[in-house]
Every structure is written in C-alpha cells, then in structure tokens.
A = this chain, B = another copy of it.
Amino acid sequence: MSEALNFELKKVDKKTGARLGVLHLPHGDVETPVFMPVGTQATVKSMTPEELKNDVKAHIILSNTYHLYLRPGHELIKKAGGLHKFMNWDRNILTDSGGFQVFSLGDLRKISEDGVEFRSHIDGSKHFISPEKDMEIQNALGSDIIMAFDECAPYGATYDYVKKSMERTTRWAKRCKDAHKNTEKQALFGIVQGGFYKDLRKKSAEDLIKLDFPGYAVGGISVGEPKDEFLDILRYVTPLLPENKPRYLMGVGTPDYLIEAVFAGIDMCDCVLPTRMARNGSALTHKGKVNMLNACHTEDFSPLDSECDCYTCKNYTRSYIRHLFKAGEILGARLLSIHNLRFLVNLMENVRQAIKDECLEEFRDEFYTKYGYEKM
C-alpha cells in the first residue's frame, strides 16, 4: 500500500457487487463510489474552488498532466508550491498520466519502448515523455493520486497491436513504480489495458496486480465502442482487481454509465461531459437531458430541476438561463456547470445511500423509469 492512500472498504452489496468505501487521502476523505469533476488546465471550467466545495460538494477533482506539462509547465507549478496551491484547491486532486491525450494526437506522436515523442497541439514544439519523465511531472504537480503512463489503444485495434501495446504498458507501469519519488504523499495507480480482448485484459490485470499498486484503473473502454461491448469488458475486468483496493473507471460520466460502473464494482469515475454539456447549454436533470436553448423554456419561470438542491436551481428560472445562453453570457455556462456537476455528485451520493439501504437495484430501476435516462 502507498502511505498516501488508505482505502477503507465499508461494504460490498451482496446482490449487485457494488461497493461502499472511503479513500483516506492527504487532502481529506473521499466517500466512494465517487464522481470526480475534471479541471483539465488547473481549473474546472468556469468555476471557483468555493463553488466546487459549497455548491457541487466535490471532495476530489481531476486534472490533466499533458495539458499542465505544456502550459504552464510542471516546473512552474512546482515553484508555485504545487498544483493545489497554484489553483487554490485544498481538497484532493487526481492527475491522469497524459497517455490518453498523447496517444490521441495521432500522426503527431511516435511510440518507442522508451516512451513517446510528440508535438504540442498548442505550438507544434517537440516533446518526449517516458514513464520516468511522467513521474517527474506528476511528482512536481503534487497531486494526491497519480496515474501510470499507459497507452490507450484505439477501438478496433488488432489483437496483435493491442497485445504488444498492453505488454509495453505493463513494462511502463513497472518503470513508473520505480521512478515515483513521493509515495508518502502521492498514490500511484496502475491502469489495466488490453482493449476488447478478454485474455489480454486478464493478463494485464494479473501482471499489474503483481506490482502491488495502491489502486487500479480500467482504461481503454468508453472509447467509442457500442454499449454492450463496454459493459461486457467492464463486467469482466473489474472483478479481476483486488477487492481491498480502489477501482477507477476512466473517462465515464453519463448517468447511465456511472450507475452501471457502480454495479460492476467500480469506485471512482471522471468525465468532462457535465461541464462541456453546460457550456453548450445542455443540462442533466431529474427529467432527463434538457437543451436550454429550446424555445419551450422562453417563458418557463420554474427552476431548471425542481428536485435539485444546487445554487442554480434555488435561484434562477429556466427562462433566465435560456436568456443568458441566447445572449452569449458567461453566467449561463457557470450556472449549468454548477448544476450538471452537482447532479452527478448528488447521483453518487444517492447511489451510496442506496447501497447502505440495500436497495440499489430499485434505485437504478427508478432512475431509468422516472428520470427518462435510457436503460443500457
């Protein structure tokens, strides 16, 4: 176990396998299952830390190593006293490894055993990230949970490609573990890869478990595949992971995916979806997705979501929010960002209560039928 993280598994639901736990971390406790808002560039888009605490009620957020490495640079953030101080957030931060972003660059990157050479999406400058360099960057950022440098193979990649990629990711995970300098304050998670090939997933999980990470992530799903394939792999991989360690499903954030992840035994999720939707004028509500630009809201003086306890729903009407979007006003994105994040954080609070009350299946059924979200 990492000294930085103590995972307390409080309950496993007998009927579903869903788990209730607490992550004891350097910047406070985090109850799981948890949804983590994403602050890619050292800010959760449009929001202050106070809003994340008081309105969203978030205890952990995610930030992106690739973006911070390029701008403003990890050395600058280290000089600022670390990412928490730089961005004025005194609760927990998880940083990804940047692997996903680097591999998403396509022609702009070149993989070797040693690492990945790539060009910046900002200015075209050339960079090289190895597992060792990645640990140096994340150690400089000082985030509470850091991720091993991995390759996320694209959906549709051949068995042969995924096998070689997964094996290299495992070798890189070992190198990350060896290079990680700050185990007392930062917990390093391994990332299971293997694409949509179960034997490769099994091999990846087994080899990473031998390295004894304090937590494990499932990477490389929710990358464009049909829902049934997503669920098939998720439900196959998750039970392979150690019961006494936290399990993190990367990049998932629609309400239905979150609930299914919990059923599969996942403890942590993150996604840019709620804030990206917010900037486009879309809201997640207890009556399904709502596009605030629609004319039907023009004279609707009711709250966005009458079942929601957030700042936006307590203080503003649909009519006003629609006006803000039609007029191109920043406050519109702010109000919907608060609401959408609160909606998902609150969803996970309700999921935790349902696990405690042993009524998770009923909760899921009600969520799908009552709230109009598509059943998977």
Whether, in the assembled complex, A172 has its beta carbon less than 8 Å from a beta carbon of chain B, the answer is no
Interface pair B327/A41, CB less than 8 Å apart: yes
Interface with B: A80-88, A223-231, A341-349, which one? A80-88
Interface with B: A7-15, A23-31, A312-320, which one? A312-320
Within 8 A of B (CB), among A238-291: none
Whether, in the assembled complex, A3 has its beta carbon less than 8 Å from a beta carbon of chain B, the answer is no
Residue of B nearest to A327 (CB): B41
Residue of B nearest to A79 (CB): B299
Which of A67, A299, A330 counts the most B-chain CB atoms under 10 A from its CB?
A330
Interface pair B43/A331, CB less than 8 Å apart: yes
Residue of B nearest to A314 (CB): B88
When distances are taken between beta carbons in the complex, the residues of chain B under 8 Å from A301 are 79-81
Question: A323-345 interface mask toward B, CB cutoff 8 Å, 1 = contact, 0 = none?
Answer: 11011011101100000000000
Interface pair B299/A71, CB less than 8 Å apart: no
- How far, in whole Å, are A48 and B337 apart by their CA atoms in the complex? 14
When distances are taken between beta carbons in the complex, the residues of chain B under 8 Å from A333 are 330
Contacts A316-B88, A326-B72 given; does A331 touch B79 at CB 8 Å:
no
Within 8 A of B (CB), among A4-57: 41-43, 45-48
Contacts A48-B331, A71-B326, A326-B71 given; does A319 touch B43 at CB 8 Å:
no
- How far, in whole Å, are A316 and B42 apart by their CA atoms in the complex? 12
Contacts A42-B323, A87-B320, A320-B42 given; does A76 touch B330 at CB 8 Å:
no
Residue in B72, B320, B322, B329 whose CB lies within 8 Å of A323: B72
How many copies of this chain are found per oligomer?
A: 2
Chain A: interface residue total (CB-CB under 8 A): 35
For residue A268, give the distance in angstroms from its CB to the closest CB of chain B. 25
Whether, in the assembled complex, A120 has its beta carbon less than 8 Å from a beta carbon of chain B, the answer is no
Whether, in the assembled complex, A298 has its beta carbon less than 8 Å from a beta carbon of chain B, the answer is yes
Interface pair A331/B47, CB less than 8 Å apart: yes
When distances are taken between beta carbons in the complex, the residues of chain B under 8 Å from A87 are 320
When distances are taken between beta carbons in the complex, the residues of chain B under 8 Å from A86 are 317, 319-320, 323
Interface pair B320/A88, CB less than 8 Å apart: yes
When distances are taken between beta carbons in the complex, the residues of chain B under 8 Å from A327 are 41, 43, 67, 71-72
Interface pair B76/A329, CB less than 8 Å apart: no
Contacts A88-B316, A298-B76 given; does A323 touch B45 at CB 8 Å:
no
Interface pair A80/B319, CB less than 8 Å apart: yes
Contacts A76-B299, A323-B72 given; does A329 touch B88 at CB 8 Å:
no
When distances are taken between beta carbons in the complex, the residues of chain B under 8 Å from A334 are 46, 48, 330, 334
Cross-chain pairs A/B with CB under 8 angstroms, 12 sampled: A43-B324, A43-B329, A45-B329, A71-B323, A79-B299, A79-B301, A80-B301, A80-B319, A81-B301, A87-B320, A88-B320, A330-B334
